[in-house]
Amino acid sequence: MFPRISLDICLRSLMRQVSPLIFLFVAASAIPLTAQISSVASESCVEEKATAPVPLVIEVKDSSGGVLPRAAVEAHCGASLHNGITAEDGRVSLDLRPGRYGILVRMPGFAGSLQVVDVPARTGTVEVVMAIAASTDVINVNADTGFVPYESNAGSKTNSLLVEVPQSISIVNQQEIEARNVVTVNEALRYTPGVQADEYGVEPRFDWLKIRGFDAQTFGIFRDGMRFNSLAGKLDPFELESVEVLKGPSSVLYGEIPPGGLINQVTKRPSAERSTQIEGLFGAYDRRQGSFDTTGSFDRAEVFRYRLLGLIRNSSTQTNFTPDNRRLIAPALTWHPSERTNFSVLADYQYDGSKWSQFLPANGTLYSTNPNGIIPVSTFLGEPNFDRVTRTQGSLAYTGDHLFSDGWNLHSNYRYQYIGLKAQTIAGNGFDGTSQTEVSRYLFATPSTNRFHTVDTRALRRFKAGNWEQTVLFGYDYQHINQRATSYYLFGVGDLNIYNPVYGQTTIPTGAPFLNNNNLLQQHGLYAQDQIKYRSHLIFTLGGRQDFAKNDITNFLPGGANFSHLDERFTGRVGITYLTDSGIAPYFAYSTSFLPNAGTYVFDPTTGLSTTPAVPSDARQVEGGVKFQPRTWNSFITASVFQINETNVLVADSNFNQHQNGEVRSRGVELEAVASMSHGLNLHGGYTFTATNNIDDVTTANIGKWLPQTPREQFSFLADYTQGGGRFAGLGGNFGVRFVGRNAADAANSFFIPNFTLLDAGLRFGYRNTLFRINATNLTDKRYVATCTGLTACYYGYARNVIGTAAYRF
């Protein structure tokens, strides 16, 4: 048995270690804010809580005097937040107690506006004039904005309001990431419906993720809108300001994508205002981590801005002999000479040291019938002096924006990324057949390198005539991915007593390579999109894309055959949304996607040969739902139903010949609600029902069965509270519950993994510029099996992990 990574995934993932690389990455700049406004919106605000609230009318206009409906308005005062959405007349009324507030206004296509307002206002009405801005402009504010997102670039590449995009989108923002003190991207998405995080349980190497029942880790992971291979690299949440999940086929904007959707990791950006954070983290399994994050402007005019963050971690894990060590440095620079132009670069270098996940027998983990008892969760089946996973990754990127006088906005970003990985292990292959203690083992090694060049250039413009508004987008992107991979295996390395392991008794032989390839993937994509709005209520979203994906594989094995193939696909999306004055927005959409099957030949039963290159797998989705963003309180709710059909799926017969007559289907319901109350309470809840089925297969016995490693139901709920005033101001914490339903272990559904429920909790106290946190996941230390890929390969889930943090900000 091989590890669960298939030959194709091996080829497309793990990378060889080389010398460090520093990368300069792009980030759209923050809009300048004065120190006075920042302090009023965060610490210096005074709200007279004992006084009855009075109405404050805010009117939002553009520079020509035209009113702007559907603008997001927030009134900040310390930990207190009040929000609303402007109506057709460009106005919104907020009931505020007397005091001084920071009024933040955001509207797609305009630069964010933040100003100080005293309540009650002299005129009773505050007028806000919005200036046109570049498509990637963002605004940074120190006020507590809660867990609720407003807009995203992921679903439209035009920074649209989430309520206007006819697709389910989930966002975990920086405040939620920090409140839960997450340490992996997997952990950040544990409360996101439609996403299956920690698919293979304890996994220190990579982020294994599924969306709506489909694997996302190889082609569905992005960073700042450009491809990032999660089965090669791994980003630290400390480097991210948010994680976005775009659900369903999304090739129309991103090219080759799994049917379930994509995950976009958004890197922290330079800020115009100076701030520094120094943090120390200590926890279970001897975890020790130090980090810093500093940002600000070099000059008074805030034209040149910087950000520099770094992290050092030394840690063990719940698995014996398995470290989780990391070194990270990430500089960033932004040049923002005017509101019409900005140019940014951002870089990082990261080094990781860890080991492989464990392949444990079902008898002793999933089943308690082993007479020798339960296999401990700390069990390590490899050889401490042989097993290792070391990764070196670095990137260099730029982003540029310019808004022309005629209204066209040109945006371009590019990244070069290198990931090198050395990975070798002695893995378990189940009991050897002579006893229920001795486990047979095999050697597996896969040193690899991966080099990415990605570029995305697009132009957009917004038009308005009478009752009609349009946002037109044209774009071109290019990917050049060069992967060099070698893989070895050797069976019969030497048995190990799983209950009483004695290491170092076996001479480690060298295996012969079964894979030695260089894979070059080049993809060109041309795309266009039109968002049409009528009377600020009815929105049509139309998009189309033509892709050309060429794959060249050079096989260095003796007698190995080379491969070259060009795939062409047209994909699209059609959607409609209706915005009501109450904030309810029903929507419906149809979208398609494709995913190449590079390097695979399908079997021809007439000739008995596998000589025909496999064509891409195609997917189509129908999705409908309702989004609700109330005008009177800070929340966002999404309810969606969907059906995804993927065709041209590769399936293997009993002789391991590949056929392309497979079809799978995923249909389900997703509910998500995020709310931030004005008194410091944040809520995040979700429910997922995902029914996956095998519709067609060369093995008829598999037809109608569940897709493996996909739970039918998931439920999560998180409550986070911070005391805003009084004697216990700054005291807070959170409590969460996660339920994961049962899932099938194999395609034949011969056995299932039972459901499990986990509890998380956190406690924190902030005083002046210092914050102390303690967070615990799997609070009750429940032992559970996350999944199995067979009776010889089961994977424990994460045991209780307690982490304490002390952070000082100035």
* Cβ neighbours, 10 Å, residue 201: 20
Decide the pairing of beta strands 80-85 and 72-77.
antiparallel
* CA 309 to the chain's CA centroid: 20
- d(Cα 444, Cα 234) in Å, to the nearest integer? 21
Question: How many CA atoms, within 13 angstroms, populate the side-chain half-sphere of residue 691?
Answer: 8
pLDDT digit string (tens) for 440-481?
Answer: 999 999 999 999 999 999 999 999 888 999 999 999 999 999
- d(Cα 11, Cα 255) in Å, to the nearest integer? 20
Please say whether the beta carbons of 148 and 634 come within 8 A: yes
Burial class (CB in 10 A: 0-12, 13-18, 19+), 639: middle
pLDDT digit string (tens) for 207-262?
Answer: 889 999 999 988 899 999 999 876 678 999 999 999 999 999 999 999 999 999 99
pLDDT at 142 over 70: no
What would the DSSP string read from start to end of 600-647?
-EEEETTTTEEEEEPPPEEEEEEEEEEEE--SSSSEEEEEEEEEEEEE
Helical (H) or strand (E) element with 37:
helix 35-42
User: Letter for the amino acid at 27?
Assistant: A
pLDDT at 776 over 80: yes
pLDDT at 6 over 60: no
* Cβ neighbours, 10 Å, residue 627: 26
pLDDT at 401 over 80: yes
User: Letter for the amino acid at 731?
Assistant: L
Q: Which two tokens stand for residue 142?
A: 């120190």
pLDDT digit string (tens) for 526-540?
Answer: 999 999 999 889 999
- d(Cα 475, Cα 224) in Å, to the nearest integer? 16
pLDDT at 722 over 70: yes
Predicted structure pTM score: 0.85
What share of the chain in percent tops pLDDT 70?
90
Q: How confident is the model at residue 47 (pLDDT cuts 50, 70, 90)?
A: low
What would the DSSP string read from start to end of 375-429?
PPTT---S-TTT-EEEEEEEEEEEEEEEE-TTS-EEEEEEEEEEEEEEEEEEEEE
Please say whether the beta carbons of 316 and 322 come within 8 A: yes
User: Letter for the amino acid at 427?
Assistant: A
Mean pLDDT across the chain: 87
pLDDT digit string (tens) for 572-630?
Answer: 999 999 999 888 999 999 999 999 988 888 988 888 888 888 999 999 999 999 999 88
CA geometry: angle at 90 spanning 89 and 96, to 5°?
A: 115
Helix (H, G, I), strand (E, B) or coil at 109: coil
CA geometry: angle at 668 spanning 664 and 672, to 5°?
A: 140
